[in-house]
A = this chain, B = another copy of it.
Amino acid sequence: MSFEFIVRHTDRRSRVGEFSTPHGIVETPAFMAVGTLATVKALDPDDLRAMGAQMILANAYHLHLRPGDDVIRDLGGLHRFMGWDGPILTDSGGFQVFSLATLRTVDEKGVEFRSHIDGSRRVFTPESVMRIQRNLGADVIMQFDHVIPGQSNETTARDASERSIRWLARCAREFQTLTSEDDGTRPRQALFPIIQGGVHEHLRCEAVAAARAAGDWLGFAIGGLSVGEAKEEMYRILEVVDDSLPADRPRYLMGVGFPEDLVEGVRRGVDLFDCVAPTRMGRNGTVFTTDGRLNIKRAEYRLDPRPLDEGCKCAACSRFSRAYVRHLFVSDEILGLRLLSLHNVHFLVSLMSRARRALADGSFDAWSREWLARYHSRTQVPSA
């Protein structure tokens, strides 16, 4: 199967569609669970399939360091390595180079840094990052970009965004070279540009225009959001980007998010989301529910026979009480981490499934307003 994106219905800015990849179709809007190190933390690929997860993420920076992208290539690529035959997207490592690695120096050529694991010296260039992602073999791969702190001033943001565009051209050339060497047995991959520009509307517009001028992309990623700016700023930028991106290509909002961010994102034309929040917060005892978040550690759940979220059909809620999950969590039992991660990822996956149904039957605007009102109605537990 080759790449294709079909928009089935639209409702204001929102769309429901189908994104075809060599490893299957992704019904959009969709939440992608994050498997940084070729495993969605605490979950089994069977858990993901059972909950209806369609496409998952892995990370080029992390897998380059451990176990090595060459190891994964030699073992048949990421799909076989991690036992996931559905679509996979890899992030380029741009974000990790700038957030995890140390002693970083950036120049036009690329980024020199030290590994956060063993301090070893490494260099990432647009070209090397294409080769890494080629070795991994995900269906969708990201350009290498220059990531800056969320609240950077306009000069810094412009400089990084323009460099990212120049790096996009180099990524595209290297990707072209790599794929022209194909013997026909390697999976086809789609390269997405990453739109940067911070919270500066005109920089975002310029980035979209420059990316569009640089090629006919199969999709676009939106980077540099949910990095400390106010939610209202993120929503405003999403609308600006929605206005300037082509309607017939999927948009992937990187590293977002929380349940409410997904609904707000779909309202602003986003098709794909990813975030470590559901698994990370699960491992901290935070539970997503339709009435906001709850913290399973609280004593009030000690004898609570109800499921984590009433009405939820996940493999945790259909079998276990809050009291049991709390017992597992306070006793440091691994099953507790798995059940909480499973529930939270299922929550986002099924939230997007519900959004697709509402989009298909024309009720999305009303449904999403109601959903947001209920989610925000209870006092929320501060995030863990």
Which A residues have a C-beta under 8 Å from some C-beta of B? 37-39, 41-46, 66-67, 71, 74-76, 81-83, 302-303, 305, 315, 319-321, 323-324, 326-328, 330-331, 333-338
Complex contact B335–A39 (CB within 8 A): yes
> Taking A324-B82, A327-B66 as contacts, is the C-beta distance between A71 and B302 under 8 angstroms?
yes
Complex interface: chain B residues within 8 A of A320 (CB): 83
12 contacts between A and B (CB under 8 A): A38-B327, A41-B333, A44-B338, A46-B315, A67-B323, A67-B327, A67-B330, A75-B303, A81-B321, A81-B324, A83-B320, A334-B338
Complex contact B74–A303 (CB within 8 A): yes
Q: Tell me, rounded to whole Å, the shortest Cβ–Cβ distance linking A135 to chain B.
A: 14
Q: How many copies does the complex hold?
A: 2
Complex contact A321–B75 (CB within 8 A): yes
CA distance A174 to B88 in the complex (A): 60
CA distance A334 to B340 in the complex (A): 13
CA distance A303 to B75 in the complex (A): 7
Our pick among B42, B46, B83, B324 for the contact of A334 (Cβ within 8 Å) is B42
Complex interface: chain B residues within 8 A of A328 (CB): 37, 39
- Name the prevailing secondary structure of the A interface residues: loop
Our pick among B67, B315, B331 for the contact of A37 (Cβ within 8 Å) is B331
Complex interface: chain B residues within 8 A of A334 (CB): 41-42, 334, 337-338
CA distance A338 to B75 in the complex (A): 22
CA distance A295 to B337 in the complex (A): 25
Our pick among B323, B326, B330, B335 for the contact of A42 (Cβ within 8 Å) is B335
Our pick among B66, B75, B76, B83 for the contact of A319 (Cβ within 8 Å) is B83
Q: Tell me, rounded to whole Å, the shortest Cβ–Cβ distance linking A227 to chain B.
A: 25
